[in-house]
């Protein structure tokens, strides 16, 4: 079976200067992520805090409630399962088991 050419790349970046600009922009930020948001992307911290605050308010959370955002699908799913297990099993909230 013959391999198909990558037709999407040509349509997305029809002009070479657009492709070059895209590659340059990706290269500038490829070593940064949301873990360093306070230093690299200060506005991201404010947006994250605003989203968490809105969700806590939406769910009528107590004043002591906290929240966090995740950075991707796998991380989100793993933390959702862990949270569900912790809520379902009272013994799970004892702390770390060594």
Tens-digit pLDDT profile for residues 10-38: 666 678 888 888 888 888 877 766 666 67
What is the C-alpha separation between 53 and 94, in angstroms, rounded?
A: 27
Classify residue 43: in a domain, yes or no.
yes
Residue 4 within a domain:
no
Task: Answer yes or no: pTM beyond 0.85.
Answer: no
Residue in 23, 47, 17 with CA at minimum distance from that of residue 34? 47
Produce one character per residue of 55-69: b if its CB has 16 or more CB atoms within 10 Å, e if not.
eeeeeeeeeeeeeee
Dig out the tokens for 62 from the structure. Answer: 């107590």
Identify whether 15 is part of a domain: yes
| Number of compact structural domains in the chain | 1
Domain assignment present for residue 1? The answer is no
As a whole number of angstroms, the distance between CA 48 and CA 70 comes to 10
Q: Which domain holds residue 29?
A: 9-91
> What pLDDT band is residue 86 in, cutting at 50, 70 and 90?
confident
**70 located within any domain:** yes
pLDDT tens, 35-76? 666 777 778 888 889 999 999 999 999 999 988 888 778 888
56 lies in some domain: yes
Instruction: Provide the sign of the torsion angle of the four alpha carbons 79, 34, 26, 29, taken in this order.
Output: negative
Query: Is residue 2 one of the residues assigned to a domain?
Result: no
């Amino acid at each position: 079976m013959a391999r198909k050419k990558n037709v999407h790349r040509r349509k997305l970046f029809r002009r070479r200067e657009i492709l070059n600009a895209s590659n340059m922009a990706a290269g500038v930020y490829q070593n940064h992520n949301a873990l360093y948001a306070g230093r690299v992307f200060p506005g991201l911290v404010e947006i994250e805090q605003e989203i968490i605050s809105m969700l806590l308010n939406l769910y009528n959370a107590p004043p002591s409630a906290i929240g966090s955002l995740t950075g991707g699908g796998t991380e989100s799913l793993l933390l959702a399962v862990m949270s569900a297990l912790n809520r379902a099993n009272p013994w799970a909230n004892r702390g770390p088991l060594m």
